[in-house]
Amino acid sequence: MTPVRRTRERGVETLTLDSPHNRNALSATLVGDLAAALTATAADPGARAVVLTHTGTTFSAGADLRDPPDPDALVGLFRQIAELPKPVVARVAGHVRAGGLGLLAACDISAASHDSTFAFTEVRIGVAPAVISLTLLPRTDPRALARYYLTGERFDAAEAARTGLVTAAGDDVDAVLAPVLDGLRRASPQGLAETKRLLTARVLEAFDRDAAGLTALSARLFASPQAREGMTAFLERRDPEWVV
């Protein structure tokens, strides 16, 4: 069974992350299947826009530590979303962690329910939010990122909206998205594609400039002794050795 489901309603293609056994973690399989679904959608003239959403209570728990994606594949997925000639809208009604936040920030517009929570947990397992910075740094408040990158604290949807991590938050995420999807359906395909190109120029500049270095950093950190201890502690549900 594929971890990404596709449905269509009035020109809006919905891609649903459906991997409940690992809370929609970014496994090699999920990253590959999502990339394939985006490729098919990009080539489909009947698709005006994409909604990226999820089953269960978690949008994405970050990288799958048991089946991690290749860093180059993750960079490719994020860039594919930014370059897709159709708007990609994230619909979040649950929790987002670590690498899942890079996926969220790659989207053009995003909405979250008020009970959603967010956290950059990389520092707690001995790594850094390296590859996901390609989409986050150009779009999110830098002072907020400094706090949440360094502490791994959990924060809520209102804070995510304040810092620019998501576009809007509300009690009913579908009510928040209704006018957004109506606007996208009324827009011309050419108008959407060219406007998106203007909006993503700075993000794509970051990919051109920084992707290779951040990919190398990610690979080096994940291979380090501290990361091995951090990931083992996470899987064993205990504190890593450096907690004081």
Q: In the chain, where are the structural domains located? A: 1-172+189-244
Which pLDDT value is given to residue 182? 98
Mean pLDDT across the chain: 97
Other beta carbons within 10 angstroms of residue 172's beta carbon come to 12
CA 158 to chain centre: 18
CA distance 158 to 44: 35
pLDDT digits (tens, 9 = 90+) for 88-145: 999 999 999 999 999 999 999 999 999 999 999 999 999 999 999 999 999 999 999 9
Which pLDDT value is given to residue 65? 85
**Mean of the pLDDT values across residues 84-89?**
98
For residues 36 and 76, is the Cβ–Cβ distance under 8 A?
no
Provide CATH code, domain 1-172+189-244: 3.90.226.10
pLDDT digits (tens, 9 = 90+) for 200-212: 999 999 999 999 9
CA distance 126 to 150: 11
pLDDT digits (tens, 9 = 90+) for 166-219: 999 999 999 999 999 999 999 999 999 999 999 999 999 999 999 999 999 999
Which pLDDT value is given to residue 194? 98
DSSP 176-197: HHHHHHHHHHHS-HHHHHHHHH
CA distance 72 to 215: 7
- pLDDT for residue 230 is more than 80: yes
Assign 66 a pLDDT band (cuts: 50, 70, 90).
Answer: confident
Q: Where are the beta strands (DSSP E) in the chain?
A: 4-9, 12-17, 49-54, 58-60, 88-92, 95-97, 109-113, 117-119, 154-156, 168-170
Q: What percent of the chain has pLDDT over 90?
A: 96
- pLDDT for residue 28 is more than 90: yes
Whole-model pTM: value is: 0.96
pLDDT digits (tens, 9 = 90+) for 146-167: 999 999 999 999 999 999 999 9
Which pLDDT value is given to residue 129? 98
CA distance 52 to 3: 13
Q: Is 136 exposed, middle or buried (0-12, 13-18, 19+ CB in 10 A)?
A: buried
